[in-house]
Amino acid sequence: MNSTLAKRLSVIKGEGRAALIGYLPAGFPSVDGSIAAIKAMIAGGVDIIEVGFPYSDPVMDGPTIQLAAGRSLAQGTSAIDVLNIVKAVAATGTPTVVMSYWNPIARYGIEKFARDLAQAGGSGVITPDLTIDEASEWLSAVAKYSIDPIFVVAPSTADERLSKVVAACSGFVYAASTMGVTGTRSKVANTAEALVARVHAATDLPVCVGLGVSNAEQANEVAQYADGVIVGSAFVRALLDAPDSAAGLKAVEELARSLADGVRR
C-alpha cells in the first residue's frame, strides 16, 4: 500500500536513518492540549505520530500512559475527539496512525472507523490486542479505505506465527522490545535486536521498535538495527512533570529534538 506512512518511511530509509515515531494519548492533557503537544513533538523532529485511543483496560500500557489515558477518559474524550485530533495532526503533513485496543473500534463500528479515519487523513492503525485469527473483518475494512493495518510482534512470537502476522501488516511491523508493558526503562531489552532480525527475515516491511526508549542514547542504539524508534511514555512523562502547559510544550519539543538527534547520529 502506497500510503503517506509508507512513503515517509521510504524517504527516511533513503536518508540512511531510522524514523522517530512519537506517541501521545488523545485528549491528554486535553483535546486542544494534545494537538498542541503533538505539534511541539513534530517541531522537535518527530517524523510520524501515533495517537492513542484512550481505553479503560489498556493491557499493554504501563502506569505512565495509563494515568494519562485515565485523565483523558475522565474529561470525556470520545472517538470523535480522537478522529478530530488525527485530522489536525495529519493536516501538518505528518503521517498519523492511531493505536487502539480492539474494543473501542468494535464499539464505534469496524468499517465506519476505517472510513472515518481515512476521511480524517489517518494512515494506519496499530491494534495491540487484535489477533490475526480474528482480524478478517478488520483487514477487509482497512483495505477498502487504504488504511495500513499494523500488528504487534514480541520476542515470544514463534517463527511460524510471526510470518503470518507480518504478512497481514502494511506500513510497518510493530516490534515490542520486551514482554511486558510500556514505560521508560534504564536500558532497552537485549531481545529487541534479535526480534528485529527475525522480522526482517520474514518481510521487506519496515520494523519499528517500541517499549522502553526514553532518551537519545537509547534511540541511537535502537536506530542501529530498526527502521523506526517509537517513544511514548517519555513524552507523557514530560507533560505530567511540567508545572504548566507552556512548560509542558517546551519540554516535549526539547525531548523530541534530543531523540531526533539520537536517531540521526
How far apart (Å, rounded) are the C-alpha atoms in residues 251 and 257?
10
Q: How far is CA 251 from CA 43, 127, 203, 242, in A?
A: 12, 29, 37, 7
Name the 3-class secondary structure at 198: helix
**Domains along the chain?**
4-264 (3.20.20.70)
pLDDT in tens, 52-83: 999 887 667 778 888 888 888 799 999 999 99
**Cβ partners under 8 Å of residue 59, min gap 6:** 101, 128, 129, 181
pLDDT in tens, 32-55: 999 999 999 999 999 999 999 998
Q: Under a CB-based contact definition with an 8 Å cutoff, are residues 233 and 209 in contact?
A: no
Phi then psi dihedrals of residue 182, to 5 deg = -65, 160
Say how many C-beta atoms besides its own lie within 10 A of residue 10's C-beta: 11
How far apart (Å, rounded) are the C-alpha atoms in residues 185 and 177?
11
**Residue 169 above 50 pLDDT?**
yes
pLDDT in tens, 201-246: 999 999 999 987 899 999 999 999 999 999 999 999 999 999 999 9
pLDDT in tens, 191-201: 889 999 999 99
**Residue 185 above 70 pLDDT?**
no
pLDDT, position 189: 55
pLDDT, position 181: 41
Sign for the CA dihedral angle at 201, 209, 120, 82 comes to: positive
Question: In whole numbers, what is the pLDDT of the chain averaged over residues?
Answer: 92
Sign for the CA dihedral angle at 237, 240, 241, 245 comes to: positive
How far apart (Å, rounded) are the C-alpha atoms in residues 74 and 53?
13
Record the pTM: 0.94
More confident residue, 234 or 186: 234
How far apart (Å, rounded) are the C-alpha atoms in residues 259 and 21?
10
Catalytic positions are 50, 61
pLDDT in tens, 140-155: 999 999 999 999 999 9
**Residue 2 above 90 pLDDT?**
no
